[in-house]
Amino acid sequence: MPGQAVRREPPEFAILAIFFDIFAADIVVCTMHRLAVCSLVFLGACFLSPFPEYQISGFMGYYLSEQLNKESQSSTQGSSSGGGSTTQASVPVASPGAGSYNATQNVTLTSTAGAIICYTTDGSQPTCNSGSCTAGSIYSVALSVSSSSTVRAQACGNSLAPSATLEAQYVIDTTAPGAVTGLSATPSDSQVNLSWSNPGDADFAGVRVLRKTGSAPTNENDGTVVYTGTGASHLDSGLTNFTLYYYAVFAYDQVNNFSAAAQTTATPSPVVCGGNPCRIYLAINGGALYNGNLGGVAGADSICNSDPARPNASTYKAIIGSTTRRACTSSNCGGATGMEQSLDWVLYPNKAYVRADGSTPIGTTNASGIFTGTLTSGFSPSGSYAWTGFVANYSVGGWLCTNGGDWLDSTSGVNGSVGSVTTTDASGALYWTLTACNVGRPLYCAEQ
C-alpha cells in the first residue's frame, strides 16, 4: 500500500522454498515408482544446504532416512524374487535309445552343459541334488548294457535344479531262431522253385534266401539275396539254363539274429523230352552205316533227324566231339560245377537217359552233362562201335576224320575215334579205339 513498508524475505528463504517445492514433487514421484534414488538426490541436497539453519536434522532426517531404506530393501527383494529363479537341468538323453538289440550296447548319457548325471541300471530311482548323487552312480563313461536292463537317469548341478527322470528299457536278445526245414529246389526252364517250412519260434520275423554260383553261401550276407519275408516258398526266375546254383535259407528274429543255413542246389534247364527221360538211339542208315564224312557237325545232326531208326518225332543231335562241340575242356570236366566247360553240348545235366525203346535205362548225367562211372545199360543192346571223336573221359581228341574241317573225310589214311555201343563203362562208351574214316560206323543220337 502507498506509504506502507514492504517486508522482504531474506534470499535464503527463496532458495529453500524452491528446494522444498522440488522435494515435495520428488517424494510423490518416488512413492509412486519406488525409485529411492530420486529421494537420495534431493535428500542429499537438503543435507548439503548452504544454509545451516535449514539443513534437515533431528526427527525429520531420521524419518526420511528410514523411509528411503525401506524403499531400497523392497526394490532389492522384488528383483530377487522376480528374475532369479533356478534353471532346471534337461532330462538326460540316452544313445542308442531304448529298444531291442542282438548284441551288447554302449549307452551314452547327455544333459545340460555343466550338469552331472546320476543313473541306475537295476530299476531303482536315481537322485541328483545340488551337483551330487544321493542315490545311484555318477555317469562318466558309456554304460555297457550286455543283458536286458532298465536305465534310469537324472541330471542336476550346483545352479541347476534336478531334471525329470529318464527311463530307457533295453532288451538284449542273442538267441537265434531255429533253422528252416524241408528245403527243396525244383528246377525248370530258366528258373528254380524253392520251398521250405519256417520255424515255430515266438520271435520269428522272416527268412532270407541267398543264391550263389561256384560255392554255397557261408553266411546271411554271402551271395545274392533273392527273397526276404515270412513266406515258405519262392520262385527264383531269370536264371541261366544248365548253370548250377547254390541256395541257402536263413531264418531271423525281430532283432536280426540269424539261424544256421538250410542249403540245396539246382540246375535250371528247359523242359525236354516231354518231361520224360531222354532217348539215345543209334543211326545206322538202314544197316549201311556212315563213313567219316558226315558233313561236319551240322551234317551229323541232320543224319540223326532223318535216319529211319529215329524212334519218335523229337529233335536229335549227334553225340560227337569236334572243335565246335564238346562237353569238357578237362578230363571228365574236372573242376567244373556246371556246364561252363561245354560248347554246343547235346546231353542235359542231371537228366535220365534211356535206350530207343523208351524204357531201358542207360544212366543219369551229372551237373556237367556227362556220364561217369558205370552205366545201367550200354547205349545199344548190340553192335560194335560208333563215331564219337573223343578220347578218354570226354576230352576231344585229334581223331575227327578231318579234311579241311571235322568229320569231312572218308579216306583210309585218316582215323576217327569210336566208342563201344554195348559197354557199361561210361568212358569206354565215348572212346574205345580208332577206326579208319572210310569204314562205316553208326552215330549216337541224343533226344533234345
- CATH number, domain at 415? 3.10.100.10
C-alpha to C-alpha distance for 56 and 298, rounded to whole angstroms? 138
On whether both 387 and 429 belong to a single domain, the answer is yes
Residue 9 predicted with pLDDT over 60: no
pLDDT at 271: 80
On whether both 204 and 336 belong to a single domain, the answer is no
Residue 443 covered by a domain: yes
On whether both 99 and 240 belong to a single domain, the answer is no
Number of H helices, E strands in the chain: 5, 27
Least confident interval from 26-40, 74-88, 93-107, 275-289: 26-40
C-alpha to C-alpha distance for 339 and 111, rounded to whole angstroms? 64
On whether both 189 and 152 belong to a single domain, the answer is no
On whether both 207 and 300 belong to a single domain, the answer is no
Contact 147, 174 (CB under 8 A): no
Residue 13 predicted with pLDDT over 50: no
Residue 235 covered by a domain: yes
Residue 2 covered by a domain: no
Contact 328, 437 (CB under 8 A): no
On whether both 261 and 277 belong to a single domain, the answer is no
On whether both 376 and 227 belong to a single domain, the answer is no
Residue 83 covered by a domain: no
Residue range(s) defining the domain that contains residue 54: 11-75
Residue 28 predicted with pLDDT over 70: no
- CATH number, domain at 231? 2.60.40.10
On whether both 214 and 262 belong to a single domain, the answer is yes
Give the end of a domain, one of 103, 137, 172: 172
Residue 198 covered by a domain: yes
On whether both 242 and 301 belong to a single domain, the answer is no
- What digits encode the pLDDT tens for the residues 212-248? 999 999 999 999 999 999 999 999 999 998 888 999 9
C-alpha to C-alpha distance for 98 and 149, rounded to whole angstroms? 10
On whether both 296 and 443 belong to a single domain, the answer is yes
Nearest in space to 233 (alpha carbons), one of 204, 193, 262, 260 = 193
Mean pLDDT for the chain overall? 84
First to last CA, the chain: 155
- Output the CA torsion sign for 274, 279, 282, 286: negative
pLDDT at 394: 87
On whether both 150 and 229 belong to a single domain, the answer is no
- CATH number, domain at 155? 2.60.40
Residue 1 covered by a domain: no
On whether both 218 and 139 belong to a single domain, the answer is no
Cα Rg for the chain, rounded, in angstroms? 52
Contacts for 76 with CB less than 8 Å, ≥ 6 apart: none
pLDDT at 275: 83
Q: Which three cell numbers stand for residue 153?
A: 537317469
Give the end of a domain, one of 138, 154, 172: 172
Give the end of a domain, one of 217, 237, 266: 266
Residue 415 covered by a domain: yes
Residue 4 covered by a domain: no
pTM: 0.54
- What digits encode the pLDDT tens for the residues 154-174? 999 999 999 999 999 999 999
Total count of domains within the chain: 4
